[in-house]
């Protein structure tokens, strides 16, 4: 659309200038004629420059989609004229401004201090966390067995070489099964002092890529890699086109990665170096230009990676959104994604010689007495982490954030990739004329409530749906909340009608659940978009 306007603009100018020329020839008044002539010359010059500029832009587009088209133009784009001033720390780097989206501001953000008193004692690896593996993996341990951190617990039946390892040392106390005997949890009671399986030394710079892949699969670090499309366990046969790491999380109450990475800078950089060896393309680091202060040095001064700055409300921190703007996933391509803490664990394999599954977890939510950070290991027991901290009993414990996290009971465990617990009130109450005159203020993107007048206010949210499910009625709502060139509502309809071509064409490969979570939150018709999207992803995945 924008390019079309700029393309026709010079033509329009030429068209407009022709009557001026005509008048110039017949003009009797000399000064007027001169002025018109000057105007014509100016316009002609402008047209020439504009045409040249457009050619430049077209060439820039051919060179690579990752390049910022505004950066190659000599004219500022309209948007950049009106854009907010960039923070100083960005320097000369280009920043991708994302307008669409919304920050849900909730009460109960964690204070950036680690509480050393809180200790979880049981941990679990949960096969359902790893999408794409068979529901009943092959177990390498049995109940009662002692394991060290990094020992094999189970492996997938399809790709047996990928090992899933114990995050802590201790005794396997339970192997829980769910529907159709699928294994849901392998529970370990942790030792007081964690013992690690010593890994043999391996220098990734010297070994071949194949050796590195085999080494990572054996030590358990392979499970840290997630592959797009579908957000599944990475395929050892595939070479990713690029690898993406988002260094900031914009989800409600999400942990601050600048705080998380403190003291682990070396492992983080090592992790990035290893990733560089695994891809045929580049490792991209998504950085936040949202804050007043610069992101941690570990991110801004990371070496050997391409850094890309993003500014905008949630979901600008989602790695899927960043991929879309950096280098969209092409046909038959795969890319990998990791979170900051996954990169640290990967790096620690080489810097410390052990599978160090340490995690800094943010315990957040308005229903907590004291929201805070704790240091624990992957798959910690949820109940133990929030013990003595709940302000009431009628709450929902969530592994992850309120938008795309999963509901947990106190005896359940944090999911493998989650570094946050959110506690929200259950909302199973009736509200008189709640659709007209709400009795309390909760977050909303709708301007029919006065919330938008108070951009700094924070809210207590609960799990009430505030209405019943309906057919799609309102249009254009999702587009305002997803900063991608995707038509979410049409994609959802394509999924619901099993339209494979439509799904592919409308960009299902670029999305996972967390990307449409904000749309689902705001949906007036209360449609379950994440569930629908996963259905579609599963369908496409089965088709291959």
Q: Is 1 in the site for other proteins (CB under 8 A)?
A: yes
Q: How far is 367 from 389, CA to CA, in rounded Å?
A: 9
Q: How far is 192 from 190, CA to CA, in rounded Å?
A: 7
- Report yes or no: 110 and 372 within 8 Å, Cβ to Cβ: yes
Q: How far is 443 from 463, CA to CA, in rounded Å?
A: 12
Q: List strands edge to edge, sheet with 146-147.
A: 122-125, 183-190, 170-177, 146-147
Indicate which single residue of 315, 320, 507, 536 sits in contact with other proteins (rule: CB under 8 A). Answer: 507
Among the listed ranges 158-166, 172-180, 255-263, 499-507, the one in contact with other proteins (CB under 8 A) is 499-507
Binding mask 323-352 for other proteins (x = CB under 8 A): ----xxxxxxx-------------------
Q: Is 220 in the site for other proteins (CB under 8 A)?
A: no
Residues between 107 and 166 that touch other proteins (CB under 8 A): none
Nearest to 168 by CA among 37, 359, 392, 340: 359
Write the CB contacts of 203 (distance below 8 Å, at least 6 apart in sequence): none
Q: Which two tokens stand for residue 459?
A: 């809210």
By beta-carbon proximity to other proteins, the closer residue of 282 and 354 is 282
- Is the Cα torsion angle 521, 523, 524, 528 positive or negative in sign? negative
Residues between 252 and 291 that touch other proteins (CB under 8 A): none
Write the CB contacts of 29 (distance below 8 Å, at least 6 apart in sequence): none
Q: Is 513 in the site for other proteins (CB under 8 A)?
A: yes
Residues between 468 and 487 that touch other proteins (CB under 8 A): 468, 470-476, 479, 485-487
Cβ 444 to other proteins shortest distance, Å = 4
Cβ 252 to other proteins shortest distance, Å = 8
Q: Is 428 in the site for other proteins (CB under 8 A)?
A: yes
By beta-carbon proximity to other proteins, the closer residue of 224 and 517 is 517
Question: Backbone phi, then psi, for 471, in 5-degree steps?
Answer: -70, 160
Cβ 501 to other proteins shortest distance, Å = 9
Q: Is 520 in the site for other proteins (CB under 8 A)?
A: yes
By beta-carbon proximity to other proteins, the closer residue of 15 and 429 is 429
Indicate which single residue of 295, 462, 483, 511 sits in contact with other proteins (rule: CB under 8 A). Answer: 462
Q: Is 406 in the site for other proteins (CB under 8 A)?
A: yes
- Report yes or no: 406 and 443 within 8 Å, Cβ to Cβ: no
Q: Is 396 in the site for other proteins (CB under 8 A)?
A: yes
Q: How far is 213 from 301, CA to CA, in rounded Å?
A: 27
Among the listed ranges 5-13, 82-90, 381-389, 460-468, the one in contact with other proteins (CB under 8 A) is 460-468
Q: What are the distances in angstroms from CA 484 to CA 24, 226, 381, 480, 487?
A: 49, 21, 36, 10, 8
By beta-carbon proximity to other proteins, the closer residue of 13 and 60 is 60
Indicate which single residue of 181, 432, 453, 456 sits in contact with other proteins (rule: CB under 8 A). Answer: 432
Q: Is 321 in the site for other proteins (CB under 8 A)?
A: no
Indicate which single residue of 18, 208, 498, 524 sits in contact with other proteins (rule: CB under 8 A). Answer: 524
Among the listed ranges 18-26, 187-195, 314-322, 446-454, the one in contact with other proteins (CB under 8 A) is 446-454
Q: Is 395 in the site for other proteins (CB under 8 A)?
A: no
Cβ 256 to other proteins shortest distance, Å = 21
Q: How many CB atoms lie within 10 A of CB 530?
A: 19
- Report yes or no: 526 and 470 within 8 Å, Cβ to Cβ: yes
Side-chain half-sphere exposure of 176, counting CA atoms within 13 A: 15
């Amino acid at each position: 659309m924008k390019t079309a306007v700029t393309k026709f603009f010079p033509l329009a100018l030429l068209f407009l200038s022709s009557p001026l020329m005509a008048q110039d020839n017949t003009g009797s008044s000399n000064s007027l004629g001169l002025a018109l002539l000057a105007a014509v010359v100016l316009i002609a010059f402008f047209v020439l420059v504009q045409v040249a500029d457009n050619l430049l832009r077209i060439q820039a587009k051919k060179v690579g989609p990752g390049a910022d088209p505004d950066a190659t133009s000599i004219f500022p784009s309209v948007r950049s004229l009106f854009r907010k001033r960039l923070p100083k720390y960005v320097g000369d780097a280009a920043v991708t401004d994302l307008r669409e989206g919304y920050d849900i501001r909730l009460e109960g953000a964690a204070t950036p201090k680690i509480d050393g008193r809180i200790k979880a004692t049981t941990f679990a690896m949960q096969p359902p966390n790893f999408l794409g593996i068979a529901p009943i993996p092959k177990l390498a341990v049995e109940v009662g067995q002692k394991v060290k951190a990094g020992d094999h617990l189970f492996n997938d039946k399809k790709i047996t070489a990928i090992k899933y390892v114990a995050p802590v040392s201790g005794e396997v106390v339970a192997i829980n099964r769910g529907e159709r005997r699928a294994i849901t949890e392998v529970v370990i009671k942790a030792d007081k002092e964690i013992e690690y399986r010593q890994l043999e030394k391996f220098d990734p710079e010297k070994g071949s890529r194949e050796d590195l892949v085999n080494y990572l699969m054996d030590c358990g670090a392979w499970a840290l890699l997630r592959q797009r499309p579908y957000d599944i366990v990475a395929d050892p046969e595939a070479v990713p086109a690029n690898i993406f790491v988002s260094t900031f999380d914009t989800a409600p109450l999400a942990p601050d990665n600048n705080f998380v990475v403190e003291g682990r800078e070396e492992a983080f950089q090592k992790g990035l170096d290893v990733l560089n060896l695994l891809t045929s393309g580049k490792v991209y680091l998504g950085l936040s230009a949202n804050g007043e202060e610069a992101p941690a040095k570990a991110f801004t001064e990371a070496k050997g990676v391409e850094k890309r700055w993003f500014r905008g409300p949630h979901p600008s921190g989602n790695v899927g959104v960043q991929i879309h703007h950096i280098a969209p996933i092409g046909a038959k391509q795969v890319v990998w994604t990791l979170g900051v803490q996954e990169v640290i664990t990967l790096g620690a394999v080489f810097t410390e010689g052990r599978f160090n599954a340490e995690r800094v977890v943010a315990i957040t939510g308005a229903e907590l007495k004291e929201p805070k950070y704790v240091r624990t290991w992957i798959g910690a027991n949820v109940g133990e982490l929030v013990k003595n901290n709940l302000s009431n009993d009628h709450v929902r414990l969530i592994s992850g954030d309120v938008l795309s996290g999963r509901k947990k009971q106190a005896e359940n465990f944090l999911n493998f990739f989650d570094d946050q617990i959110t506690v929200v009130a259950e909302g199973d109450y009736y509200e008189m004329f709640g659709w007209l005159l709400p009795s309390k203020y909760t977050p909303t993107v709708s301007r029919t409530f006065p919330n938008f007048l108070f951009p700094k206010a924070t809210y207590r949210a609960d799990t009430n749906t505030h209405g019943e499910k309906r057919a799609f009625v309102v249009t254009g709502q999702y587009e305002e909340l997803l900063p991608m060139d995707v038509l979410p509502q049409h994609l959802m309809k394509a999924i619901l009608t099993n339209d494979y071509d439509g799904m592919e064409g409308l960009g299902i490969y670029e999305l996972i659940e967390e990307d449409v979570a904000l749309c689902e939150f705001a949906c007036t018709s209360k449609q379950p978009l994440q569930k629908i999207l996963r259905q579609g992803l599963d369908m496409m995945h089965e088709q291959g």
